[in-house]
Amino acid sequence: MEKTLVILKPSAIERGLVGEIVGRFQQKGLIIAGMKMMQLDERLLREHYAHLVDRPFFPLVLASMMASPVIVMCLQGVDAIRVVRLMTGATNGREALPGTIRGDFSVSGQENIVHASSSVEDAEIELKRFFAPEEIYDWTPQGIRFMYSPDEA
């Protein structure tokens, strides 16, 4: 099964949306393989957002992402990256469709509630950035047979 990184940003933490968002992922059938709260620092953010460091808005990204602790999660499932990205919606909350996490909880391009890995390659790199190997668990819930047919899981 595929693994992906999700970050519940300060905008989710400060607004008390953690339970709602985690619940949506679980209700969809995604498996939490790792989860922790942490305070991001400038060094880690410069590495994570290296493609944005030279952009004029990068100081806003830093301030936003360091405003409070975040929750990082490793979610696992069949096509997990695509499923999570469909669930999160367009990056700009004003453009995200209703029913998506950003569409329901965000009206901002910056304060957009969640980060989700965009590809298998990015997920592998990002998961290593935020988790030590022993913090990600390879386990299968007993109810997996009620989430996937035998030929999918």
Give the catalytic positions in this structure: 115
- Helical H segments across 50-136, by residue range: 58-65, 80-88, 101-105, 120-130
Phi-psi region of 89 (alpha: psi -120 to 50; beta: other; left: phi over 0): left
CB atoms within 10 A of CB 138: 9
Asked if residue 69 lies in contact with residue 39, where contact means CB atoms within 8 angstroms, the answer is yes
16 three-state secondary structure: coil
DSSP symbol at 97: P
Position 18, amino acid: V
Q: Which two tokens stand for residue 104?
A: 């329901």
